[in-house]
Amino acid sequence: GRDILSDTGLWRDAAYVNGAWVSDGKAGTMDLCNPATGAMLAKLPQFDAGQVRGAVDAADAAFGPWRLRPAKDRAKLLRGWFDLMTEHAEDLARLIVLEEGKPFAEAKGEVAYAASFVEWFAEEAKRIRGDVMAAPEAGRRIVVLKEPVGVCAAITPWNFPAAMITRKAAPALAAGCTMVVKPAGQTPLTALALAELADRAGIPAGVFNVVLGRARVVGGELTANPKVRKITFTGSTEVGRLLLEQSAATIKKASMELGGNAPLLVFDDADLDEAVDGFIATKYRNTGQACISANRAYVQAGIHDAFVARLAEKVGALKVGEGFEDGVQQGPLIDAAAVEKVKDHIADAVAHGAQVVCGGATHNRGPLFFQPTVLSGVTQAMKITREETFGPIAPVVKFETEGEAVAMANDTEFGLAAYLFARDGARLWRVSAALEAGMIGVNTGLISNEVAPFGGIKQSGIGREGSVYGIDEFMEQKYLAWAGA
Ligand code: ADP
């Protein structure tokens, strides 16, 4: 429990509303367990719809004064939050390992990534600017102001418990919006520690709130409530679609970071080690539980056998265990349903003729651990190429021509990330242009950082997070038509 933290004040097991901790949930409590050990971590209050409404009211009341603060003030407060996150990075990482299961080194990487958005948008807050345009008539001026959208609701997933919150909250607060966050039920402690640090940083009461409760109850209120002007979500396409439907009645602005089914293309002229390492970097981060994780590799016939052999050698050597153990590279999956999905995808692939090159079964470390697996002889007919697997399985499809590979890569309703490995410059440009995805890794498996625009096309989402564009998602334009000017 909390003794694992060097600052036990970061262990919070109550919701955070209007600058106060609320431990009384009108809809009961929820038990939180460590996925690696099954040990009970905490009991958390569950809000009913009325309590969620109360949090929205608090965010609404805080919005007026917050938006009127000079941008430089908001920037300073965000900078303070960033500094505290950096100072307490190890404790935040411990909480992530405890409730989410990723290896400690990866958890520290996530905290640095999460904090980078707060630093970046603290800087961007000062650079919000509008426009003045040449008017078509004499004596007139066209002025465009940027204004904060208002109260924003954020619904976030468990796989990156810190970063998926800061990537939303930092631009929202920088723009002058206030926020109510509903973290995933699996990972509330990280969210609450972030709230504690926001509180210590002096972010005013009501500006940043964290509510806890059953997804349908909280999501239902946040989408129905007319005071919420924007919904920003990261999670499955299925739930994103539902939230858009529910938000239609009150015409909310929406940003959606949804599911992916990222293809990774390796051409004959690629550097073998670079391609294998790049695939492992994107595939095995967080034990395959990332929306931009390469879900399926397409490897050209000339390099295929060498690629599969090298891949299996390296994947077979990945160290599996609890996140706090030395040198561990693969943690547990988040829950039993995740393990079932992985098993189902492997069984379906094998039934359709795929071969298990390494792994393929549950791991003796515990019920939620799975062996890092490589499959060859995979085809487009299998579930593993059509659905997001979200686990440590690397399926390899062999291809002959560039056109064939691009067609298979694009044969999906998703369009989040794609990766390609080749040396020929013309091919790199041509294939990058042809791939239907919001983000493309060109000879790299690592694409995420605060400076680049993160987001998808097709049914992978709406809008972009991070970068100079990210703050626009939390601002409206107001046009002033001046006469006699
Ligand atoms: P994942 O596969 O990452 O769990 P989900 O889309 O199920 O993806 O979950 C992402 C977030 O959406 C979580 O915070 C979850 O609690 C929330 N969520 C799930 N179902 C609903 C719902 N019906 N309404 C609102 N939020 C939901």
CB 371 within 8 A of CB 360: yes
Task: Label residue 303 left, alpha or beta by phi (over 0 means left) and psi (-120 to 50 means alpha).
Answer: alpha
Structure tokens at 44: 């958390």
How many Cβ atoms from other residues are within 10 Å of residue 39's Cβ? 10
The pLDDT value recorded for residue 485 is: 81
CA distance 127 to 338: 43
Please write down the HEC assignment for all residues of the chain.
CHHHCCCHHHCCCCEEECCEEECCCCCCEEEEECCCCCCEEEEEECCCHHHHHHHHHHHHHHHHHHHHCCHHHHHHHHHHHHHHHHHCHHHHHHHHHHHHCCCHHHHHHHHHHHHHHHHHHHHHHCCCCCEEECCCCCCEEEEEEEEECCEEEEECCCCCCCHHHHHHHHHHHHHCCEEEEECCCCCHHHHHHHHHHHHHCCCCCCCEEECCCCHHHHHHHHHHCCCEEEEEEECCHHHHHHHHHHHHCCCCEEEEECCCCEEEEECCCCCHHHHHHHHHHHHHHHHHCCCCCEEEEEEEHHHHHHHHHHHHHHHHCCCECCCCCCCCCECCCCCHHHHHHHHHHHHHHHHCCCEEEECCCECCCCCCCECCEEEECCCCCCHHHHCCCCCCEEEEEEECCHHHHHHHHHCCCEECEEEEECCCHHHHHHHHHHCCCCEEEECCCCCCCCCCCECCEECCEECCECCCCHHHHHEEEEEEEEECC
Tell whether ligand 1 has an atom less than 6 A from the beta carbon of residue 85: no
**Selection from 71, 253, 154, 172 nearest residue 466 by Cα:** 172
The protein residue whose alpha carbon is closest to atom 21 in ligand 1 is 215
CA distance 168 to 155: 10
Which is the closest atom of ligand 1 to the Cα of 155? 14
How many Cβ atoms from other residues are within 10 Å of residue 136's Cβ? 7
CA distance 13 to 161: 15
Tell whether ligand 1 has an atom less than 6 A from the beta carbon of residue 210: no
Tell whether ligand 1 has an atom less than 6 A from the beta carbon of residue 26: no
Tell whether ligand 1 has an atom less than 6 A from the beta carbon of residue 260: no
**Selection from 88, 197, 200, 176 nearest residue 124 by Cα:** 176
Q: Which amino acid is at 52?
A: V
The interface pTM score, or ipTM, of the predicted complex is: 0.97
CA distance 60 to 413: 37
Tell whether ligand 1 has an atom less than 6 A from the beta carbon of residue 241: no
The pLDDT value recorded for residue 1 is: 80
- Mutating to test ligand 1, I would choose from 46, 47, 99, 239 the residue with most ligand atoms within 8 A of its C-beta, which is 239
239 CA → ligand 1 middle, Å: 6
**Selection from 90, 122, 142 nearest residue 198 by Cα:** 122
How many Cβ atoms from other residues are within 10 Å of residue 53's Cβ? 16
Tell whether ligand 1 has an atom less than 6 A from the beta carbon of residue 236: yes
257 is catalytic: yes
- Strands 140-148, 475-483: pairing is antiparallel
∠ CA 314-315-316 to the nearest 5 degrees?
90
Structure tokens at 158: 């468990």
Return the bridge partners of 262, or none: 294
CA 197 distance to own-chain centroid: 21
Which is the closest atom of ligand 1 to the Cα of 334? 4
CA distance 243 to 232: 10
CA distance 219 to 291: 21
Tell whether ligand 1 has an atom less than 6 A from the beta carbon of residue 161: no
- Strands 414-415, 417-421: pairing is unpaired
Tell whether ligand 1 has an atom less than 6 A from the beta carbon of residue 155: yes
Q: Which one from 196, 257, 322, 465 is the annotated catalytic residue?
A: 257
- pLDDT digit string (tens) for the chain, length 485 residues: 899 999 999 999 999 999 999 999 999 999 999 999 999 999 999 999 999 999 999 999 999 999 999 999 999 999 999 999 999 999 999 999 999 999 999 999 999 999 999 999 999 999 999 999 999 999 999 999 999 999 999 999 999 999 999 999 999 999 999 999 999 999 999 999 999 999 999 999 999 999 999 999 999 999 999 999 999 999 999 999 999 999 999 999 999 999 999 999 999 999 999 999 999 999 999 999 999 999 999 999 999 999 999 999 999 999 999 999 999 999 999 999 999 999 999 999 999 999 999 999 999 999 999 999 999 999 999 999 999 999 999 999 999 999 999 999 999 999 999 999 999 999 999 999 999 999 999 999 999 999 999 999 999 999 999 999 999 999 999 999 999 98
The protein residue whose alpha carbon is closest to atom 11 in ligand 1 is 157
Please state the pTM of the whole predicted model.
0.98
Tell whether ligand 1 has an atom less than 6 A from the beta carbon of residue 184: yes
Which is the closest atom of ligand 1 to the Cα of 184? 14
The protein residue whose alpha carbon is closest to atom 13 in ligand 1 is 184
How far, CA to CA in Å, does 201 sit from each of 69, 88, 194, 361, 441?
A: 16, 13, 10, 46, 36
Which is the closest atom of ligand 1 to the Cα of 158? 3
Which is the closest atom of ligand 1 to the Cα of 222? 25
How far, CA to CA in Å, does 113 sit from each of 110, 301, 450?
A: 5, 37, 7
**Selection from 233, 185, 207, 191 nearest residue 63 by Cα:** 207
**Selection from 288, 280, 111 nearest residue 194 by Cα:** 111
Calculate helix-pair angle for 188-200, 163-175, nearest 10 degrees: 40
Tell whether ligand 1 has an atom less than 6 A from the beta carbon of residue 185: yes
- Mutating to test ligand 1, I would choose from 46, 155, 165, 342 the residue with most ligand atoms within 8 A of its C-beta, which is 155
Which is the closest atom of ligand 1 to the Cα of 240? 6
219 CA → ligand 1 middle, Å: 9
Structure tokens at 86: 């950096």
